[in-house]
Amino acid sequence: MAETVAARTSTDRDDKTVRVELGSRSYDIRIGRGVLETAGAEIAAVLPGARLAVIADETVAGLHLEAFSDSLRAAAIQHTAITVPAGESSKCFREFERLCDEVLAARLERGDAVVALGGGVTGDLTGFVASAVRRGMAFVQVPTTLLAQVDSSVGGKTGINCRHGKNLIGAFYQPALVLADTAVLDTLPLRDFRAGYAEVAKYGLLGDADFFDWLEANWKAVFADGEARDEAVARSCQAKADVVAADELESGRRALLNLGHTFGHALESAVSYETERLVHGEGVAIGMMLAHEFSERLGLIGDDTVARVRAHLGEVGLPVRIQDIPGQLPPAATFMDIIAQDKKVSRGALTFILTRGIGEAFVEKDVDPALVSDFLEEKLEA
Amino acid sequence: MAETVAARTSTDRDDKTVRVELGSRSYDIRIGRGVLETAGAEIAAVLPGARLAVIADETVAGLHLEAFSDSLRAAAIQHTAITVPAGESSKCFREFERLCDEVLAARLERGDAVVALGGGVTGDLTGFVASAVRRGMAFVQVPTTLLAQVDSSVGGKTGINCRHGKNLIGAFYQPALVLADTAVLDTLPLRDFRAGYAEVAKYGLLGDADFFDWLEANWKAVFADGEARDEAVARSCQAKADVVAADELESGRRALLNLGHTFGHALESAVSYETERLVHGEGVAIGMMLAHEFSERLGLIGDDTVARVRAHLGEVGLPVRIQDIPGQLPPAATFMDIIAQDKKVSRGALTFILTRGIGEAFVEKDVDPALVSDFLEEKLEA
């Protein structure tokens, strides 16, 4: 039975493929239930003869490493598995150094590849390692969370954290292949699925009103699994791929993907990244609400639009206001400091992603800090 | 007087400019006596409004930082200087982490720039820092050794060392500008100047017989300073720029630049990188001799060619045989292990740069390890 599954190619199933167009660095994202089982064949087709170092956190290794290794063995791919502790704290210089050393200890050469099997933390950390070892090994992303499948595994942003903030050290480094098995999301805790869904909804809100309509009608099926989930992942990846193809290094349009993220990152930072209180996707959900409310404050949209966004995010179970975060929060002045130090600052001016309606987000590079401060003060007291 | 010099633009002088053609990442190398004095104006022209973090080792900072800072102040460029200990041991994870932190502590934003003021160690380390902070800051190279001016500052190879070997962790990351002041070479110790000259001679040997002829006739003037030195640096940079433009990521032709380097790196490794015994350029000089002798052994060139190369490298004072290295060396088997672990290995086969004559080097990807081993054994006993 296992052999049958492993020998089956994904073309026998109803997999979806999204192409990220980046010239000589273009790559495919394969999306569908069971992609993990045929991962070996997919990788061998793109990187013939490559040996692999597979990096996974301990949790994901327990859940999915055996199936992934089976699939690699079925394709006769030599590989070494390296595990990292689960959690954001692994995105650090120490683990970066250790993993670089371990990949070299496995005697991988140019032409071999490094694989990230896991969520966003594993993908970000592993991608930076892949970019740096021998000045760049081939890299494969096998994202196992919804957040990683629709966001962090696509587009080539890799990195680690340092004492000055998150993701401040890293590289733009594109994978050669992304394999998104939507069946592995069955084992994802509901809270993490919801958090990933915030990024799915983001693609509708920032540039595709039809997709947002579709999500309002189909979100239950996306959570339940099956075709609608694959469709939501594929449309999200396509949306991100389009933006990345137009602006790989985030000099312009790519900033739209940060809708909700300036406020969201500030909230995550304000709770010291304690995931019991707030995970990234929840920060993005509240951040998107704040971006819409701030756009309303500036007269860009009406309260009906704000209400519609709040209704949908609330319906799926995401937090929609600052007060949904348990525990005390710092004053507005602290948030302003965090925002000022955020890397989406350009020569001192505040850049925000604002919106003129569902699917009509835009980059505003010259937002008056005093307006943001007043707005946040009010929201914190609400 | 100082103001006059600082206000003078390099176009008043007889500077040479070499353009590295890499599409949107193209950049100029400015070469001439006194380029350092007008560095501020040059940088401001390429990176208007950028603030700088200037990284220099303690030795170079003592010699040149004040003049460089004066030039930046004359162009009203805000900057922070960060020093690192002199020497190869600074190319490590610890310094990489510290410098990333320091650049962020200086609150540099996207659009600001990191400057390497120094030799190859500073350039390699600083370039990797520039590539990684905020996933890539603008980067300026101000090489202060001959080796750095003609080799390491051009082409975008950056990196640090780790326990598995040298330069195994890094990035291909191009500078926005290279400023090579040939007057600063006046303060360079003769041994270091000679070591850099080995790379100059390499460009003749690998692809430009006319340049090698010219060097045979003019090397004394190159060592003495003045026009011939500028000419040698510019022709070397042009040679490297041509190769890099054709093969930025070293998938083919760029490997020619490694003429003498496989043997040279093995020699450096064999003496544990003790620079009292052997510096990089000296290893390259002996390595180039070995590459020619090995090419003779394979019947590719005659002994007259070998003699001519040996005569020129010997004449300028470079070591030309393994026995010129003081102290004991390990047996041939150890060299073979080092060569096998060298990153210029592809799927187990040994790659060497061989030659069919002066200026006619080529990449041979399938060299029989037994031949190399026998050859080295003989050379070690000679």
Find out whether A64 and A144 touch, Cβ atoms under 8 Å: yes
- Identify all chain B residues contacting A159, using CB atoms and an 8 Å cutoff: 135
pLDDT higher than 90, residue B1: no
* DSSP one-letter code for A215: H
Q: Under a CB-based contact definition with an 8 Å cutoff, are residues B127 and B175 in contact?
A: yes
State the Cα–Cα distance between residues B64 and B55, nearest whole angstrom.
Answer: 12
- B157 to chain A: which residues are within 8 Å by CB? 135
For this structure, is B199 an active site residue?
Answer: yes
**Closest to B375 (Cα-Cα) out of B287, B280, B269, B253:** B287
pLDDT category, B56, cuts 50, 70, 90? Answer: very high
| Token pair in block for residue B277 | 């015994």
Residues whose CB falls within 8 Å of the CB of residue B269, separated by 6 or more in sequence, listed in order: B165, B166, B338
- Closest residue, chain B, to A107 (C-alpha): B341
Annotated active-site residue A254? The verdict is yes
Q: Do B162 and A100 touch (CB under 8 A)?
A: yes
- Euclidean distance between CA atoms A330 and A322, whole angstroms: 11
Q: How confident is the model at residue B332 (pLDDT cuts 50, 70, 90)?
A: very high
Order the strands of the A361-367 sheet from edge to edge.
A345-346, A349-355, A361-367
Residue A50, CA distances (Å) to A45, A47, A112, A190, A365 in order: 10, 6, 4, 36, 44
Tell whether the model's pLDDT for residue B10 goes beyond 60. no
Question: Model confidence over A79-105: pLDDT tens digits?
Answer: 999 999 999 999 999 999 999 999 999
Q: Average model confidence (pLDDT) for chain B?
A: 92
**How many angstroms separate the Cα of A315 from the Cα of each of A150, A186, A191, A325, B260?**
20, 20, 14, 17, 67
Q: Which of B16, B91, B157, B202 is catalytic?
A: B157
Whole-prediction pTM: 0.92
With CB atoms and an 8 Å threshold, state whether A133 touches B169: yes
Residue located via tokens 């190398």: B29
pLDDT band per the 50, 70, 90 thresholds, residue B165? confident
**pLDDT value at residue B250:** 78
**pLDDT of A325:** 97
pLDDT, tens digit (0-9, with 9 covering 90-100), for A152-191? 999 999 999 999 888 999 999 999 999 999 999 999 999 9
**When comparing pLDDT for A209 and B6, which is higher?**
A209
Q: How far apart are the first and last CA of chain B?
A: 58
CB A31 within 8 A of CB A234: yes
Instruction: Give the residue from A150, A308, A284 showing the smallest Cα distance to A222.
Output: A150
Which parts of chain B are beta strand (E)? 16-20, 27-32, 52-57, 79-84, 113-118, 138-143, 157-162, 165-172, 177-181, 345-346, 349-355, 361-367
Q: Give chain B positions within 8 Å (CB) of A101.
A: 162-164
Number of Cβ within a 10 Å radius of residue A224 = 10
B157-162 and B138-143 beta bridge pairing: unpaired
DSSP string, A97-136: HHHHHHHHHTT--BTBEEEEEESHHHHHHHHHHHHHBTT-
In angstroms, what separates the C-alpha of B245 from chain A's closest C-alpha?
A: 16
**Given an 8 Å threshold on Cβ–Cβ distance, is A346 in contact with B111?**
yes
Least confident of A50-59, A237-246, A282-291, B210-219: A237-246
Torsion on CA atoms A14, A20, A23, A27, rounded to nearest 10 = -50
Banded model confidence at residue B285, pLDDT cuts 50, 70, 90: very high
pLDDT at position B31 over 70: yes
Under a CB-based contact definition with an 8 Å cutoff, are residues A134 and A68 in contact?
Answer: no
pLDDT at res. B16: 94
Question: Is the interface score ipTM higher than 0.85?
Answer: yes
pLDDT(B208) > 90: yes
- Going by C-alpha positions, the residue among B193, B191, B160 that lies closest to residue B277 is B191
Give the integer Cα–Cα distance in Å for A100 and A129. Answer: 6
- Say whether pLDDT at B287 is over 90: yes
Structure tokens at B232: 């040698």
Mean pLDDT of B69-75: 98
B42 has a pLDDT exceeding 90: yes
Furthest C-alpha separation in chain A: 64
Contact assessment for residue A127 and residue A154, using Cβ atoms and an 8 Å cutoff: no
The pLDDT of residue A2 is 33
Task: Report the pLDDT value the prediction gives residue A324, as an integer from 0 to 100.
Answer: 97
Taking contacts as CB-CB distances below 8 angstroms, the residues of chain A near B96 are 93
Quick check: is B248 catalytic? no
**What is the model's pLDDT at position B5?**
32
According to the model, what pLDDT value does residue A169 have?
98
Nearest Cα of chain B lies from the Cα of A131 at a distance, in angstroms, of: 7
Mean pLDDT confidence for B310-318: 98
Query: In one letter, which amino acid is A64?
Result: H
User: From the CA of A50, how many Å to the nearest CA of chain B?
Assistant: 9
What confidence score (pLDDT) does residue B340 get? 82
Q: Please provide the distance, in angstroms rounded to a whole number, between the alpha carbons at the two ends of chain A.
A: 58
| DSSP tally for chain A: helices H, then strands E | 15, 12
Candidates A51, A102, A135, partner chain B, best to mutate (most B CBs within 10 A)? A135
Tokens of A296: 């309303």
Neighbours of A340 (CB within 10 A): 13
Asked if pLDDT for residue A11 goes beyond 60, the answer is: no
Paired tokens of B268: 């450096």
**Euclidean distance between CA atoms A320 and A286, whole angstroms:** 5
**Which of B189, B276, B178, B230 minimizes the C-alpha distance to B33?**
B230
In the residue annotation, A220 being an active-site residue is answered as no
Is the per-residue pLDDT at B345 higher than 60?
Answer: no
What's residue B347's pLDDT? 54
Residue with tokens 């950390």: A125
A227 vs B345: CA distance, rounded Å: 46
A221 pLDDT band, cuts 50/70/90, is: very high
Q: How far apart are CA B239 and CA B334, in angstroms?
A: 34
Residue B3 has pLDDT above 60, yes or no: no
Q: Which residues of B touch A155 (CB under 8 A)?
A: none
**Which pLDDT value is given to residue B252?**
79
| Closest CA–CA distance from residue B62 to any residue of chain A (Å) | 30
Distances (CA, A) of A318 to A203, A235, A266: 16, 21, 18
Q: For chain A, which residues lie within 8 Å of any Cβ of chain B, measuring from their own Cβ?
A: 49, 93, 96-97, 100-101, 104-105, 107, 109-111, 128, 131-136, 157-159, 162-165, 167-172, 249, 341, 343, 345-347
Among A133, A159, A168, select the one facing B168 at the smallest CB separation: A133
Choice among B30, B194, B265, B310 that is catalytic:
B265
Whole-number Cα distances in Å, A81 to A44, A52, A69, A101, A124: 17, 8, 9, 14, 17
Residue A133: band (very low, low, confident or very high) from pLDDT cuts 50, 70, 90? very high
Q: State the pLDDT at residue B348.
A: 60
Would you place residue A354 in the very low, low, confident or very high pLDDT band (cuts 50, 70, 90)? very high
Query: What pLDDT shows up at residue B346?
Result: 54
B105 and A164 within 8 Å at the Cβ level: the answer is yes
pLDDT of residue A5: 32
pLDDT above 90 for B361: yes
Distance between CA atoms of residues B168 and B304, nearest Å: 37
pLDDT on residue A256: 93
Decide the pairing of beta strands A16-20 and A27-32: antiparallel
Of A30, A202, A265, A312, which one is the catalytic site residue?
A265
B280 is catalytic: yes
Question: pLDDT over 70 for what percent of chain B?
Answer: 95
Count the Cβ atoms, other than its own, within 10 Å of residue A79: 20
Burial B206-216 (b: 16+ CB within 10 A, else e): bbbeebbebbb
Contact at CB, B159 and A345, closer than 8 angstroms: no
Nearest to A170 among B49, B135, B165 (CB): B135
Using DSSP's 3-state secondary structure scheme, residue A75 falls into: coil
Confidence of residue B253 (pLDDT cuts 50, 70, 90): confident
Nearest CA in chain B to A93: B97
Across the range B128-154, mean pLDDT stands at: 97
Tell me the two tokens of residue A162. 């340092």
Inter-chain touch A343–B109, beta carbons under 8 Å: yes
User: Contact, B234 vs B154, CB < 8 A?
Assistant: no
Q: Chain A: residue nearest B156 by CA?
A: A135
**Largest Cα–Cα distance in chain B?**
64
Compare all CA atoms of chain A with the CA of B162 and give the residue at the minimum distance: A101
Give me the mean pLDDT over the A241-264 stretch.
Answer: 89
